[in-house]
Amino acid sequence: MGPALVTPHVLTVDAGIKDLRAADHLLHALAAELALPEGAFGCTHLVRGDRPRVALSLTLPSQPLLRTAQERLTGQGYEVTGGAPDAAGRAVVYPGVSSLTGTLTIAELLTRSAIDRVTVLGATDQASPDARLMTQNHVRPQWNDGQLVLTAMPAAGGVLVPFEVPNPTPCCADHSTTQH
């Protein structure tokens, strides 16, 4: 699918969310509620400063859709502003994401979705088109210089997996029962 060829229309939704999992959940809920079209993008953005949080951005294919979304979200009490918080959003909702299930080749992933390229941690080259990626049904690419880039890492069995795992183990999760 590649990058969008039309000028995007972007808005930011600040719901005061503190973690990525809750932000992902809200993005999916808003995409369904607003009936976002196939060409829409929903991203998370880490906001630093006095009030660290995760803001959401929605990129819609037309100004009328943007206005409608802004009116509905504002009417629900969300803080909504024009533009994106930054250029490095983490894509959660994007064209083709629903087809990225199971194990796919990199070529299939690139053909089925808006992802432009796949990089592999520790490698100097891009991932081979015939390399297999076990998606774990959780593919979160990030915007980098105007391209949607998925970072992957090698896994057991000679496959790749997305760098971001669906259910990360919190730091120190198993330390609470360890005796010193």
Question: In the 3-class helix/strand/coil scheme, how is the chain assigned residue by residue?
Answer: CCCCCCCCEEEEEEEEECCHHHHHHHHHHHHHHCCCCCCCEEEEEEECCCCCEEEEEEEECCHHHHHHHHHHHHHCCCEEEECCCCCCCEEEECCCHHHCCCEEEHHHHHHHCCCCEEEECCCCCECCCCCEEECCCCCCCEEECCEEEEEEEECHHHCEEECCCCCCCCCCCCCCCCCC
pLDDT number for residue 168: 57
Residue 180: its pLDDT value, please?
41
Contacts of 80 (CB under 8 A, 6+ apart): 11, 12, 13, 14, 70, 73, 74
Distance CA 19, CA 26 (A): 11
What pLDDT tens digit does each residue of the chain (180 aa) get?
Answer: 444 334 579 999 999 999 999 999 999 999 999 999 988 999 999 999 888 999 999 999 899 999 999 999 999 999 999 999 998 899 999 999 999 999 999 999 999 999 999 999 988 888 899 999 999 999 999 999 999 999 999 999 999 999 998 865 555 544 444 444
The pTM for the full model equals: 0.85
Taking a C-beta distance cutoff of 8 angstroms, is the pair 40, 49 a contact? no
Q: Please state, in angstroms and rounded to a whole number, the distance separating the CA atoms of residues 170 and 24.
A: 17
Q: What is the predicted pLDDT for the residue at 169?
A: 54
